[in-house]
A and B are shown apart, each in its own frame.
Chain A
Amino acid sequence: MKDFAASHPIDTRMAMPPTPPISDDHLIRYLLGALPADEVERLDERTMVDDELAARLRLVEDDLVDSYAAGTLTGEQLQRFEAFYLVSPGRRGKAAFAKGLQTAVERATHQPRPVQKVTTQPSRHIWRESWWPLATAAVLILAVGVLFLQNFTLRRELHETARQIEDASQRAAAASQQIEVERKAAAAAKQALVDARTAPALAVVSLVLVPQTRGVTSVSIVAVPPGSSAVPVNLTLEASAGTAYDVALRDPASNRTIWRSSPLAPDRLRKIPTVPVSLPAGLLKAQHYALDLFELRSGSAPEFVSSYAFEVVRQ
């Protein structure tokens, strides 16, 4: 039992009548909410009225919180501490303070220093003088610790920011490249269409395509001269001609329609009726293509008529 009465700075005018001594363990149980309600009330009153007990309770509480901060609390005490004691924001603050104090003390005493030997009871003046160098050292160590911590935090933040900037730059560059590719493709397609529309009409030089049949037939070859903007083609019709058609240029490799004509009128003057169509030369690469012919009828969807295969050769 600690002798508080001998040295307690608070006067003991409020001394209680003699009561059974209360152990530290009992006070810990009181702090951890492990006592029955009537005992809690009794201690509530005593710790309010009894100066000695109030002081002891505070020391026991600090020791308890320090043990938690140091990680030395175990078993039921640890469970109760976390489940009961840490419920209150004020007590959580005490625990956080204890942890901080521990860290500050560890930093201040990081470098081993010889323990000062005191063989006699020196006067307060002498004691104060002998501790001055240690005090200065502690201040310096604390200051260096804070600076080091701040430096470390700033470096970490700087590094993180630099990494984020680099990531963002890479993403921006990739997006920029993608946009450029798409812009070029769109410009090429647009130019091809413009060229096709504005190109002077070339004479149709009997480039006649016949519908594909199931039998193995040779594929027509379309030679595209350099500088051509349009490739005129006549698609022969197997049956009697309708009134209007349109044509879709399809890439067989991807089965994707890459161009579609405006409505076309059949040429009925020929012996075998044909549908003339002018293909944009800029879209045509050296590969196989298919032209799908649809008959347009009012009030109904376009009706597939036939497909014409051909191979482009760039000259």
Chain B
Amino acid sequence: MSVVTLDRRDSGTSGTSFTRLLRWLDDGIDSKGERYLEIRRRLVAYFDRRNRSAPDTLADETLDRVSRTLEESGRIKVTPPARYCYVVARFVLLEDIRRSQREIPFDETRPISLDPAANRAETDEAAERSLQCLTRCLNRLKPEDRNLIVEYYRDAKRQRIDRRRELARGLGITMNALAIRTWRLRASLEACVAACRNRR
């Protein structure tokens, strides 16, 4: 299993309580931080589906609260851990909705550009930047992973299904396992592109 780098520098959780949180989320099996990342991903997606403006911040806030509870009470009876995270996330969501009803986010106070040509140029530029980042990130993948992505997403409809079946057979895995493997590659590519764009 690959080593997962966990960055909690921006969080209010101390090193000890973070370790305790990781252990509690693992529920007895050491996932090397994978479980934490997975739960955080789900929380971000949950807040994003609810159209919150800062889903990452809300996910971290949720995990911080869980961590504080663990710190204060020593243990949490609700199982599985993901269910308790969801319960806390609902409160965080409701609080954020209430807060946003009182405040006007800075972004919403800015005038919207009505010049379609300017918007189009901006969009084109952003798309071009993303494409350059994507190419760079693809080149960083191991050759077999890069090929897997290219082959998995090429073609359309029937051809695509046939190709995927052939890929799975070539790798000696099921179609579902192939889907999950490529999803992981895709998720890492997305993260790489996001980081690349933020750096530029």
Binding site for B on A (CB under 8 A): 2-4, 6-11, 13-14, 31, 44-45, 47-49, 54-55, 58-59, 62, 66, 70, 72, 87-91, 93-94, 96-97, 99-106, 108-109, 115-116, 118, 121-122, 124, 127-128, 131-132, 134-136, 138-139, 142-143, 145-146, 149, 153
Min CB distance, B89 to chain A, in Å? 7
B48 adjacent to A44 (CB under 8 Å)? no
Closest approach, in angstroms, between the C-beta of A49 and any C-beta of chain B? 5
CB distance from A106 to the nearest CB of B (A): 8
Interchain CA distance A103-B139 in the complex, whole Å: 15
Interchain CA distance A43-B143 in the complex, whole Å: 38
The answer, yes or no, to whether B193 is at the interface (CB within 8 Å) is: yes
B122 at the interface (CB under 8 A from A): no
CB proximity to A under 8 Å, residues B150-186: 150, 153-154, 156, 163, 166, 169-177, 179-180, 183-184, 186
List the one stretch of B16-24, B69-77, B79-87 in contact with chain A: B79-87
The complex places the Cα of A138 from the Cα of B132 at a distance, in Å, of 15
**Residues 123-169 of B contacting A (Cβ, < 8 Å):** 126-128, 130-132, 134-135, 138-139, 143-144, 146-147, 149-150, 153-154, 156, 163, 166, 169
B89 touches A101 (CB 8 A): no
Find A45's partner among B27, B86, B138, B180 (CB 8 Å cutoff).
B86
Per-residue CB contact flags for chain B residues 43-76 toward chain A (1 = under 8 Å, else 0) read 1111011010101000000000000000000000
- Rounded to whole Å, the gap between the CB of A301 and the closest CB of chain B is 54
- Tally of A-B Cβ pairs under 8 angstroms: 157
If A44-B86, A135-B147, A142-B135 touch, whether A121 touches B183 (CB-CB below 8 Å) is no
Further 8 A-B residue pairs, CB within 8 A, beyond A2-B179, A58-B45? A7-B177, A8-B176, A9-B184, A45-B86, A48-B86, A135-B144, A138-B143, A142-B135
Known: A3-B174, A70-B156. A48 touches B42 (CB 8 A): yes
With A45-B83, A97-B193: A105-B176 Cβ-Cβ less than 8 Å: no
Provide the bound-state CA to CA distance between A250 and B139, in Å. 81
With contact pairs A45-B86, A100-B134 given, residues A118 and B170 touching in the complex (Cβ less than 8 Å): yes
Closest 7 CB pairs of A and B: A135-B143, A7-B177, A14-B80, A48-B86, A118-B170, A121-B172, A100-B134
Contact A4 B135 (CB under 8 A): no
> Is the pair B169, A90 in contact by a Cβ cutoff of 8 Å?
no
A contact patch SS: helix
Tell whether B38 is near chain A: CB-to-CB under 8 Å: yes
B171 close to A124 (CB less than 8 A): yes
**Minimum C-beta distance from A15 to chain B (A):** 9
A7 near B176 (CB under 8 angstroms)?
yes
Contact of B186 among A62, A88, A118 (CB under 8 A): A62
- With most chain A CB atoms within 10 A of its CB, the pick from B45, B55, B126, B189 is B45
Given contacts A8-B180, A100-B130, contact A93 B80 (CB under 8 A): no
B130 touches A108 (CB 8 A): no
Which chain B positions have C-beta within 8 A of A9? 180, 184
What is the minimal beta-carbon distance from A96 to any residue of chain B, in angstroms? 6
Interface size band for B: 35 or more
A146 and B179 CA atoms in complex are apart in Å by: 28
Given the known interface contacts A49-B86, A146-B135, the answer about A99 and B127 at a Cβ–Cβ threshold of 8 Å is yes
The answer, among A11, A48, A70, A97, for a CB contact under 8 Å with B83, is A48
Which residue of B35, B131, B194 has the most chain A CB atoms within 10 A of its CB atom?
B131
Asked whether A7 lies within 8 Å of B144 as measured between CB atoms, the reply is no
A-B contact pairs, 18 of them (CB 8 A): A2-B175, A3-B174, A6-B176, A48-B83, A48-B86, A62-B183, A72-B156, A96-B127, A97-B190, A100-B131, A108-B154, A121-B170, A121-B172, A132-B143, A134-B147, A138-B147, A143-B139, A149-B128
The answer to whether B86 touches A121 (Cβ under 8 A) is: no
Contact A7 B180 (CB under 8 A): yes
Closest residue on chain B to residue A132 by CB atoms: B143
Please tell me if the beta carbons of A138 and B146 are within 8 angstroms of each other in the complex. Answer: yes
Determine if B29 is an interface residue (Cβ-Cβ < 8 Å): yes
User: Smallest distance from the beta carbon of B184 to chain A beta carbons, Å?
Assistant: 8
CB-contact partner of B169 in A106, A121, A132, A142, under 8 A = A121
- Inter-subunit contact A14/B82 (CB<8 Å): yes
Tell me which of A49, A66, A134 contacts B153 (CB under 8 A).
A66
* Contact of B29 (CB < 8 Å), options: A8, A13, A58, A109: A13
Report B34 CB to chain A, min CB distance, Å. Answer: 8
Measured CA separation A66–B153 after assembly (Å):
9
Contact between B166 and A3, CB atoms less than 8 A apart: no
Q: Is the CB of A142 within 8 A of B139?
A: yes
Min CB distance, A89 to chain B, in Å?
8
